[in-house]
Amino acid sequence: MSEMKTPNALTLAALHRANIERRAEWCPDQVPDLSFRGNELAGETGEACNVIKKLERERQGWRGSRASLSDLAEELADVVICADLCAVTAGIDLAAAVVAKFNATSEKQGLATKLGVEEDAVAQLTRERDAAIKVQEMCATSGGFYARRAENAEARAQTAEAGVARLTEALRSLDEMIFHDPQVIESAGFFRDFIARRLGPVQVENQRRQADAE
């Protein structure tokens, strides 16, 4: 079996695919039916409720066994996994069902908060990484705009103006991007500082050349 790559932000679609793959590995001879999955879900829900009971017992200072939030996290994770296994067995797209139900409740209660169509986190990270590379390439070539010397004042002014526009666009792109990869964030910060240090002198030079042209 291939290893499932888990993105930073897990999606229900990724869990669904992993559950299908692990089910084939775990139960190769007989696929569990919906009644088994339903009882499995009820059992895990009961275990989560039992942990909540113990947490409340501790909050009230009553005698008895204790549990921790990490225990609750594990049990709630089991509940989510088992709920999706029920969906797998019944042939239900749980991600789509959650979006539809969440939005229907918001509509019914007159609330503005809604879920959008779930996006694969890996694809999102790939697009952001590609955007970061594009910005880096833009930064690497931007120096030529303000370093180039034209033969006359008008051409020099146009060259400087283009340099300002491109550097400003690079800054805007960096400011608007949200990077989830720490390495991308570090690179983006470096290139933003690189551009910012050069944009000021370019703007001054551009103003001087425009004055010369007039």
Query: What is residue 43's predicted lDDT score, i.e. its pLDDT?
Result: 98
Find the DSSP H helices in the chain. 12-26, 34-60, 69-90, 94-109, 121-147, 153-176, 182-213
Residues 6+ apart with CB under 8 A from 176: none
10 Å Cβ neighbour count for 137? 10
Query: What is residue 194's predicted lDDT score, i.e. its pLDDT?
Result: 56
Query: What is residue 133's predicted lDDT score, i.e. its pLDDT?
Result: 57
Query: What is residue 129's predicted lDDT score, i.e. its pLDDT?
Result: 55
Task: Answer yes or no: are the C-beta atoms of 191 and 177 closer than 8 Å.
Answer: no
Query: What is residue 11's predicted lDDT score, i.e. its pLDDT?
Result: 87
- Across the chain, which has 214 residues, the per-10-residue mean pLDDT values are 53 91 91 96 98 97 96 97 96 92 95 75 53 56 47 56 66 56 52 57 57 60
The Cα–Cα gap between 160 and 147 comes to 8
Name the residue among 91, 84, 95, 102 with its Cα closest to residue 41: 84
Name the residue among 93, 68, 73 with its Cα closest to residue 83: 93
